[in-house]
Structure 1
Amino acid sequence: MQQLLASRITLTPRPLEARNAVLEVAMLGHCPGPVRIGRLLALRGALSRMRSLGFGDAVDQLEASSGDPRILGLQHLPIPLRSSAEFHDIFPGAQSADTGYVSVLAGRRAWLPQCVDDFFANGGDTLWVIAVPENEGQSGFLPAENTRLHEISTLRGLACALAIPTLATVAFPDLERLQVPARLPDIPRVRLDNPSPQFVPCGTDLDDDHRERRYSDEVALGEMPPPAAFNRILQGILPWLAKHRPDLQCLLTLPLSYNGKLDSPAIDARALQWIREIRDGDTGARLRQTQFLFPYLRGPGLGLSSPVGIIAGKQAAQAQARGPWRSIAGLPLQSAGLPYPPLSVGERVQLRNDPGVGVLQQRNGQLQLDDERLVVPALHPDDYSRSQVPQRFDGYRSAEVMRLLGYLRRQLNALGEQLIFNLDYRDPRPRLLLERFFRQLQQRGALRGATAEEAFRIEESQTREGVMIYEIMIAPAFPVDRIHLTFINRQGEWQGRVNDD
């Protein structure tokens, strides 16, 4: 928002009412400082969408300026936004106000505002913001025990996002911030020799930015609550996604811990072990809905921050332009930050292969994601077995495959809801609509196969009168992660061969 002529004229940038976004994103985080309800009430399109989700009573309370204090504070309410200007207009102090949780690395500012800016800077279109009260800690991001999705008054944290039928991706920037240990030290500074004594002009800055300093809030750091166990966080997220929204994808940055050998922050080894234990257990297939990321971002004028806003924004832009099945790996990402802590090539390869993490890297002066990797294949657990050769399913350990399957679920649900009241079950048009829909996907590169017959198959079954059942089999396209080339010298002539494995 820009203020002109001594604040007598206020200019609020707002995009035109837009097309439907292919990939909608929700972010849960902290919004400290005041809220300006009047600016939200001016967004009539946003209020209409909130009412369509069942939050009409909350909207009525906002318009009447009376009611539940939680509602008047815009807490645990899904608010659809179309630009970062709208966010800062509604939450003017969120980016500059102090938060209750303070740490050496994460600082004292909320991460949600920066992630909102990153989302729209990277081409994101529609973002649902859900403000979580700081005093609820990590539990405020997770559904309550008494949650009933059909009762709006019981929704909290993630449950608010589950009520959005068009949602595709969910992220938790400030939950990640709370998982940064308060006393986790920074990378040690390089010690320089003391300069020779000399006279300098008054006002000269003698700080060389390399000497050890004491943190001004050391007493406050000791009072900060410890991070929650990462497996408990996953146990609070994965079952809800698997049961209620198998089409959703979750972006989550792995936590940090202190590495004594490196004498610096590093990825938490316990978190990696917990992920492997979940993967190898009976509920390992739930991990297909989570795309793990590492490392964090940091740069001049930018404190430690989460990469989820950048990744979600680029995924949304790519989905809008080319389809949700397109990967963002290797594409330039807009950010003033650099990967922190830095990783070696070997560490990046190791995280990518086991357990399966999308690693951000700086290449040719540009921030990018090396690969959209998943821990397990983006398939139903009945479609693969852990006892089989893992390499056979490596192509399905891609987040874009999961985005395609989630997109199909939402599109087919919407199509079914339209047809159920308009067509007779004996009408052939539903099958024709399905065939046209999947043929278009095949032509745009979402499905493998040179012809429609190779890309998909639709079979109709009639179990009883008045019931339409269509069984749809598809061959989703996925990227080639590795190409093995073998060069053989036969009698002085080199011959190349592409291996099938």
Structure 2
Amino acid sequence: MKELLASRIALTPRPPLPRKAVLEVAMLGHCPGPVRLERLRALHGAVAEMRALGFGEAVAQLQAGSGDPRVLALQHLPIPLRSSAEFHDIFPEASNADTDYVSVLAGRRAWLPRCIDDFFANGGEKLWVIVVPEEEGQDGFLPAPDTRLHEIATLRGLACALVIPTLGTVTFPDLERLQVPARLPDIPRVRLDNPDPRFVPCGTELDDDHRERRHSEEVALGEMPPPAALNRVLQGILPWLAKQRPDLQCLLTLPLAYHGERGSPAVDEQALQWIRDIRDGDSGPHLRHVQFLFPYLRGPQFDLLSPAGLVAGKQSARAQARGPWRSIAGQPLESSGLPYPPLSIVDQVRLRDDPGVGVLQQRNGRVQLDDERLVVPALHPDDYAHADAPSRFDGYRSAEVMRLLGYLRRQLNTLGEQLIFTLDYRDPRPRLLLERFFRQLQQRGALRGATAQEAFHIEESPTREGVMIFDIMIAPAFPIDRIRLTFTNRQGEWKGGVNDV
């Protein structure tokens, strides 16, 4: 409390209540360095949310300051944060401490801290941080074979995020860092001619910053573990999302490989082929849960970085302001880095069309996403698998449609849980609530159609006594990839028109 004007005015400042986030995001990564448990214990709201998820035993150990070393290191625990300052307060040295894995391109710093900064710098509302031990490698990010979601002690990596009912997006910054080959060379520098010999004063700096150098870590690089195959990583992620959390969306950056003709890093062609093989197989529809990104980011403050943090932050901010069905394509992203490696227009179009990758571009000195592209349509496979022309559903290969469907699942689940113990199954109010909910979506542009009747249809199915079943059919707003405007000069008069693409 602060007293002003000779105690005639007393002010008791309190922080504002946090808004309910429309799109919550989880990030899994490495946090080297010490942990300040007292700073987490001071976040009473975060501790209460962790306890509500079922991590009450772990919270009790944290409050007591003794127990399982893994719990005291905050490993495999979902921690809700509202700002990057809260993260750096709990993990004060995570940004500067060295990691076990070292590579030429990615360096020796964890990607999670900087991705968290990018998330909140781009307007992210709420972030769940899950720390993965470095010694567990790539396996630490994936659920264990004996995982049982109702038993907290068996949760590891992605499984810790699956138990968060309000979660909408999950990212793996440091899993992507482990996928960068340790000895993958950088884009070669320009070789300059040697200067003519001349006498210079002692202590003169002669380094031109362009000649080849040998890394002092060259021996250590040979001891780094090889990256895991992308198809193996996807096989550890997709079945869990499809079966346990079909409302979730995953952001994943494609791995790098050496391109012999260019003599520089490029997108891994083998990884692209694995994606196509999964798409053409029985598990192809599961790829709608993954939004692939490329390329990475590079800036003066970091060697290499995943773009998942700034993309997830912009998606969260856009969902909060205008709805989760709104795309972030073409929106400026706040980043101190630029896309790396650079892509030609031909490469950008190729990745966007086949297999379907969201490409980051640099325009007017700012980073932006060209399109929120998916490999397969965001719809259920029954909606398009038997169509006469499946290509006409390519417009639904958009991440914003997937976010809308996931948002609907979570909202309807929440509504059902609220009504199950408060209303009789013969009460007409559930249908009225559903109609009002979808009517609001249609008015905000999430559903297409001039009227509510064109946008959705709700029908109650007859069933046995004591059971309510509603069949809901919706028409998601069709994303516009591009609009072609044609200006024609006819006898000195300019006329404009819109053509189909």
Query: Which band: TM-score by shorter chain?
Result: over 0.9
Pairwise CA distance, 1:469: 0.5
Q: Who is 1:430 aligned against?
A: 430
Q: Who is 1:45 aligned against?
A: 45
| CA shift in 2, pair 1:255/1:482, >3 Å | same
Say if 1:169 and 1:251, in contact at 8 Å, map to a contact too.
yes
User: CA offsets per residue over residues 352-385 of structure 1, 9 Å max, x none?
Assistant: 0000000001011111000000000001011112
Q: Who is 2:111 aligned against?
A: 111
Say if 1:102 and 1:108, in contact at 8 Å, map to a contact too.
yes
Q: Who is 2:131 aligned against?
A: 131
Provide the C-alpha distance between the structure 2 equivalents of 1:387 and 1:274, rounded to a whole number of angstroms: 25
Q: Equivalent residue of 2:372, what SS?
A: coil
Provide the C-alpha distance between the structure 2 equivalents of 1:386 and 1:134, rounded to a whole number of angstroms: 45
The runs of 5 or more residues in structure 1 that have no matched partner are 1-13
The 5-angstrom pairing of residues 284-295 of structure 1 reads 284-295=284-295
Q: Who is 2:166 aligned against?
A: 166
Give 2:328's aligned amino acid. Answer: I
The 5-angstrom pairing of residues 352-501 of structure 1 reads 352-385=352-385, 388-483=388-483
Q: Equivalent residue of 2:168, what SS?
A: strand
Q: Who is 2:7 aligned against?
A: none
Percent of residue pairs bearing the same amino acid type = 80
Q: Who is 2:346 aligned against?
A: 346
| CA shift in 2, pair 1:123/1:201, >3 Å | farther
Provide the C-alpha distance between the structure 2 equivalents of 1:202 and 1:408, rounded to a whole number of angstroms: 70
Q: TM-score, normalised by structure 2?
A: 0.94
Q: Who is 2:3 aligned against?
A: none
User: CA offsets per residue over residues 465-485 of structure 1, 9 Å max, x none?
Assistant: 011111111111132114467
Q: Who is 1:79 aligned against?
A: 79
Pairwise CA distance, 1:391: 3.3
Provide the C-alpha distance between the structure 2 equivalents of 1:486 and 1:331, rounded to a whole number of angstroms: 24
User: CA offsets per residue over residues 57-84 of structure 1, 9 Å max, x none?
Assistant: 0000111111111101100000000110
Give 2:379's aligned amino acid. Answer: L
Provide the C-alpha distance between the structure 2 equivalents of 1:493 and 1:122, rounded to a whole number of angstroms: 44
Q: Does 1:92 align with 2:77?
A: no
The runs of 5 or more residues in structure 2 that have no matched partner are 1-13
Q: Equivalent residue of 2:252, what SS?
A: strand
Pairwise CA distance, 1:200: 4.3
Provide the C-alpha distance between the structure 1 equivalents of 2:16 and 2:179, rounded to a whole number of angstroms: 38
Provide the C-alpha distance between the structure 1 equivalents of 2:498 and 2:85, rounded to a whole number of angstroms: 51
Q: Does 1:190 align with 2:195?
A: no
| CA shift in 2, pair 1:46/1:491, >3 Å | closer
| CA shift in 2, pair 1:164/1:188, >3 Å | same
Q: Equivalent residue of 2:293, what SS?
A: strand
Q: CA-atom RMSD, angstroms?
A: 2.0
Q: Who is 1:336 aligned against?
A: 336
Pairwise CA distance, 1:195: 2.1
Number of residues of Structure 1 aligned to a counterpart in Structure 2: 488
Say if 2:105 and 2:186, in contact at 8 Å, map to a contact too.
yes
Q: Equivalent residue of 2:146, what SS?
A: coil
Q: Who is 1:246 aligned against?
A: 246
Q: Equivalent residue of 1:427, what SS?
A: coil
Q: Who is 1:208 aligned against?
A: 208
Pairwise CA distance, 1:299: 1.4
Pairwise CA distance, 1:210: 1.1
User: CA offsets per residue over residues 175-203 of structure 1, 9 Å max, x none?
Assistant: 00000000000000000111233444554
| CA shift in 2, pair 1:492/1:197, >3 Å | closer
Q: Who is 2:10 aligned against?
A: none
Pairwise CA distance, 1:49: 0.3
Say if 1:398 and 1:478, in contact at 8 Å, map to a contact too.
no
Provide the C-alpha distance between the structure 1 equivalents of 2:435 and 2:266, rounded to a whole number of angstroms: 49
Say if 1:15 and 1:82, in contact at 8 Å, map to a contact too.
no
Say if 2:384 and 2:390, in contact at 8 Å, map to a contact too.
no
Provide the C-alpha distance between the structure 2 equivalents of 1:22 and 1:468, rounded to a whole number of angstroms: 27
User: CA offsets per residue over residues 406-433 of structure 1, 9 Å max, x none?
Assistant: 0000000000000001100111100110
Which range moves more in the overlay, 444-453 or 193-202?
193-202
Provide the C-alpha distance between the structure 1 equivalents of 2:473 and 2:205, rounded to a whole number of angstroms: 68
Q: TM-score, normalised by structure 1?
A: 0.94
Q: Who is 2:61 aligned against?
A: 61
Give 1:91's aligned amino acid. Answer: F
Provide the C-alpha distance between the structure 2 equivalents of 1:20 and 1:486, rounded to a whole number of angstroms: 44
Give 1:296's aligned amino acid. Answer: Y
Provide the C-alpha distance between the structure 2 equivalents of 1:386 and 1:374, rounded to a whole number of angstroms: 20
| CA shift in 2, pair 1:434/1:313, >3 Å | same
Give 1:303's aligned amino acid. Answer: D
